[in-house]
Amino acid sequence: MIKAMVTINIPTALRPYSQGREHVQVDGDSSLRQVFERLEKEAPGIKARLMAEDGQGIHPGIAIFINDDQESEGLIQRVPSDATIHILPAMGGGSR
């Protein structure tokens, strides 16, 4: 039996933590916090860029989408075992 995995799309700015990988797969069917902890094992240092300094929420400069829906429950959000997660860093710049 093949186990379904969560696929996490890593944005370019965070790829140095994933050894340049665009996608990382980890076990799912758990909370977003647990997925981030598993991702940290595959991409050391990335969790600090995704979570708020107090470790109790998602970094304010990051948006997380699970299967095209923006997370709405923070780190307790349930992540299905076959989900795709998109990490979107805040965009800066622009002009008036």
Domain membership flag for residue 1: no
Assess if residue 95 is contained within a domain. Answer: no
pLDDT at 2: 65
Domain count, the chain: 1
Report pLDDT for 90: 75
Does some domain include residue 13? yes
Give the CATH number, domain containing residue 23. 3.10.20.30
Task: Going residue by residue through the chain, which has 96 residues, state the pLDDT in tens, using 9 for 90 and above.
Answer: 667 899 999 999 999 999 999 999 999 899 999 999 999 999 999 999 999 999 899 999 999 999 999 999 999 999 999 999 999 987 665 555
Residue-number span of the structural domain to which 57 is assigned: 6-89
Task: Provide the whole-model pTM.
Answer: 0.89
- Give a three-class secondary structure readout of 19-79: CCCCEEEECCCEEHHHHHHHHHHHCCCCHHHHECCCCCCECCCEEEEECCEECCCHHHCEE
- pLDDT for the residue numbered 92: 63
